[in-house]
Amino acid sequence: MKMAYLLIVTGLLCLIAGIAVYVHEQKANDHAPEVAVRAEENVADAPLPPPSTPEMLPEAGPETETVTPAEAPAEEAEKDNYEEYRAKGLEFEKYVVSHFSKKYFTLKEWRGDKESDGVYATSNTYPDMEYTFTLHGQSFDFAVECKWRSRFNAQDRLDWSYKDQLERYRQFAQEKGFPVFVVLGVGGTPDHPAHVYVVPLASIRHTELHRNWLENYRHKVTGNFFYDIPTQSLR
């Protein structure tokens, strides 16, 4: 009998122990979701990492500078215009020279407009050319200033020079003691002008010349120049 009671008591104790273990595990399982939720909340509430500072960022490579076409300075534009003007002037001078017969005319001076930083020879202010005409043993010196213009202005006038330049030409003629002639080309191109006029400097009073007045000095575009000894004029 004692053995039977002992077995019963041992069985009850095992049962009670099993129930206790089962209850403990159930409580642990009931708390698990709550712990997970709290863990997620803790993660959500955790402060964000500070933004990257320049020191933390990887060093960038050298910047590529965008090169844009620069505007030409005003002085460069003026220089280009001057070069174009001088080139056209030279073309017209070549046209004039080609219409002087080498048989009668000797070209003694042909001045160029050379300059550097505003420094130029005094002779640049003189007429473009100096010639000697020789016929029957007689020689006559004279000078020629060449001017080409693309057109007459709206008032049918030709703006061929300016006051100071005109005065220098007059002074040159007085000092040299021989005549100066202004050969004017109008229209066409510098090497093939549409109209040509040969005007004695002594007859010019103004820096603008009217077209009707210039008709008195018209020269045939394709014709050679000739020096008239009795009147000492170039035609």
Give the tens place of pLDDT for each residue, 31-51. 444 434 344 444 344 444 444
**Number of alpha carbons in the 13 Å side-chain half-sphere of residue 151:** 3
Rounded-to-5 percentages of helix, strand, coil across the chain = 40, 25, 35
CATH 3.30.930.10 fits 75-234, yes or no: no
Give the model confidence (pLDDT) of 141-154 as tens digits.
999 999 999 999 99
Gap between the Cα atoms of 60 and 101, Å rounded: 75
Q: Tell me the CA end-to-end span of the chain in Å, nearest whole number.
A: 169
Give the model confidence (pLDDT) of 66-103 as tens digits.
445 555 566 666 666 878 988 999 999 999 999 999 99
Who has greater pLDDT, 23 or 208?
Answer: 208
Counting residues of the chain whose pLDDT is more than 90, the rounded percentage is: 57
Q: What are the phi and psi torsion angles at 54 (to 5°)?
A: -55, -35
Among 199, 165, 206, residue whose Cα is nearest residue 181: 199
